[in-house]
A and B are shown apart, each in its own frame.
Chain A
Amino acid sequence: MSLFRRLHEDGPGDAMTVTITVDGVALQARAGESVAAAVLASSDPTSRAAPVGGAPRAPYCMMGVCFDCLMEIDGETNRQSCMVIVREGMMVKRMARPKAVTP
């Protein structure tokens, strides 16, 4: 189940008019939402793997402070998904832990 739900379904402006792709899966969103908000309302709220231990992380502050919402958006890595508004056709990927450097 999702962590967050949309309160309204049928008012003006409530239609899910934007489709983004998260890790290859289509996700419906509402115009004006941030990418992080759309992810939190989906069945998998995680945004990235922690860079050292690899544990899953999800958006935490939703105001650009914590950087736990970092995702790859349209080919650009490390974007703060809580500060990016959804756009039709956006390609979003959860960020994996950087590969360990082997000596």
Chain B
Amino acid sequence: MASCDLAVIGAGPAGMAAATLAAEHGLDVVVYDENPAPGGQIYRAIETVSLARNSDLAFLGESYRAGAALARAFRASPARFMPGTTVWLVQKDRAIGILRDGKAAMVQANRIIIATGALERPVPVPGWTLPGVMTVGAAQGLLKSAAMAPSSPVVLAGKGPLLFQLAAQYVAAGVAIAAILETGARPIAALPHVWPAWRSGTIGKGLALLRAIRQGGVNIIRNVVALEAEGRGRLEAVAYRTVRGTGRIATPLLLLHEGVIANAQLTKAIPLAHEWNERQQCWQPMLDADGNSDVEGIAVAGDAGGIGGAEAAAHSGRLVALAALKALGKIGRIAHEALAETERTAWQRHLAARPFLDALYPPPDASAQLADGTLVCRCEEVTAGQIREAVSLGCAGPNQAKSFTRAGMGPCQGRMCGLTVAALIARETGQSMSEVGHYRIRPPIKPLTVGELAALE
């Protein structure tokens, strides 16, 4: 079996920063990412965009450009990068299962840093499986990696920094936006948290985005309380309701976004110990101040450990790498203290903006207004009504709901429906989300074919 000192899973800001620092200090570092190039979600395709398209780099904005230096340092470091490689298994003994070029293999790591980032929070609304309904992150990925934009005026619906960032990027690129349907921002609730967010630069950036969007003449409809994607076989219109009345916008493309959640698929499959984050309404691994999990030698960095954003992710990556260097004897305790202190301070300064953002853009209640007919599990096509019915028949938790209804049994392994199913059960039974729990997630976390597995001896 191949081996390494340190395996880093994910080459976003957290993974790149961690790997660069650890490799520069002499560790044998291998980095896996299922994408073809480093960058992660925020800096997706940063290398190709910086090389070929200065004009695109301009409209993608300053926070995107910041990724170029991180990627350059990562490429210049001795860390071995394995793009196009999916990690489908991590064992507590730090054996790792990878899939590359259609072949599965096992690798033994001395230490592991999991930096698998975030997912967009799934947003079940009526009609969300129609072709033409996608996520804001999906469209932003197309903009960065393929310089593609909507062919006709697009509707953006939901809330959160990423939604406004994409809108500003579209305005700068001259792409038409039919409307932004904002689902309940809470500026007054966010007021008490203004100062740390201001200090971290978050508010300044946000205001600049909003200014750019307004200058672009985009129609922003606020306080949207219900949404529906309409069409036969394809999206034709978006119907919405606000506190004032209803409306309908014809469009072939609707982009949804309700913030991001930690990508806990891998950490739950190991399993590491997790806790429910009430403020961000998602599960996240329980970590110490250095990012160490409850399993010896396995640490988590960046958004995979709890949402902090790109800048926080890079500092968290370095902090976790420093702990690995100390544990493997590459730096002494005193050097570690000094270096870690700097990173921790910077990390916390960026994290301090989160309470403001979480209060301003509170996660929607995934169970309250879901109509019985709305699909919650896209893979197995299970509706909210079917989950409610299962509960009324005595189903007490997500794993039982799975066997009652098949929700969570499809190829996405519950990534899209897990939180919604749990929230429905919590509401119907009067339990809290941490009491209800989550699907038991078993490796492989991505389906493997028999042919791919055949390569394992």
Which residues in A have some Cβ–Cβ distance to B below 8 Å?
1-8, 11-13, 30, 32-34, 37, 40-41, 45-46, 50-53, 55-68, 70, 76, 78, 83, 85
Contacts and interface: CB of A to CB of B under 8 A. Distances in A.
A11 B53 contact: yes
Contacts of B252: 1, 3
Contacts of B411: 67, 70, 78
Contacts of B36: 32, 85
Contact of B412 (A1, A59, A66): A66
**Chain A interface mostly helix, strand, loop or mixed?**
loop
A40 B131 CA distance: 10
Given A41-B148, A55-B233, A7 B173 contact: yes
A62 B148 contact: no
Contacts of A70: 411
Contacts of B119: 61, 63, 65
Interface string B20-52: 000000000000001110000100000010001
A28 to B, nearest CB: 13
A101 to B, nearest CB: 15
B149 interface: yes
25 contacts: A1-B252, A2-B151, A3-B151, A3-B253, A4-B148, A4-B149, A4-B150, A7-B56, A7-B175, A32-B48, A32-B145, A32-B146, A45-B132, A50-B381, A51-B379, A52-B381, A56-B233, A58-B131, A58-B132, A60-B129, A61-B119, A63-B119, A63-B137, A68-B129, A78-B411
A67 B410 contact: yes
A45 B131 contact: yes
Interface in B198-239: 233-234
B332 interface: no
Counting contact residues on chain B (CB < 8 A from A), the size range is: 35 or more
Contacts of A61: 119-120, 134-135, 137-138
B415 interface: yes
Nearest to B128: A60
A65 B152 contact: no
A56 B130 CA distance: 7
Interface in B119-142: 119-120, 129, 131-135, 137-139, 141-142
Contacts of A5: 148-151
Given A61-B120, A65-B415, A70-B411, A7 B147 contact: yes
B52 A57 contact: no
A49 to B, nearest CB: 11
Contacts, number: 126
B53 A8 contact: yes
B184 to A, nearest CB: 23
Contacts of A2: 151
**Chain B interface mostly helix, strand, loop or mixed?**
loop
B378 A40 contact: no
Contact of B145 (A1, A37, A68): A37
A87 B142 CA distance: 18
B311 interface: no
B380 interface: yes
Given A3-B253, A40-B148, A57 B129 contact: yes
B416 interface: yes
B380 A4 contact: no
Contact of A53 (B35, B120, B234, B381): B381
B369 interface: no
Contacts of A12: 52
The interface centre, meaning the residue of B135, B147, B379 with most chain A CB atoms within 10 A of its CB, is: B147
A6 B142 CA distance: 10
Given A33-B146, A51-B379, A76-B449, 17 more contacts: A3-B132, A4-B149, A6-B148, A8-B147, A37-B146, A51-B381, A55-B233, A57-B129, A59-B138, A60-B133, A60-B135, A61-B134, A62-B134, A62-B141, A67-B412, A78-B411, A83-B35
Q: Which 9 A-B pairs have the closest CB atoms?
A: A58-B131, A62-B138, A67-B411, A52-B381, A4-B148, A5-B151, A62-B141, A37-B146, A67-B412
A67 to B, nearest CB: 4
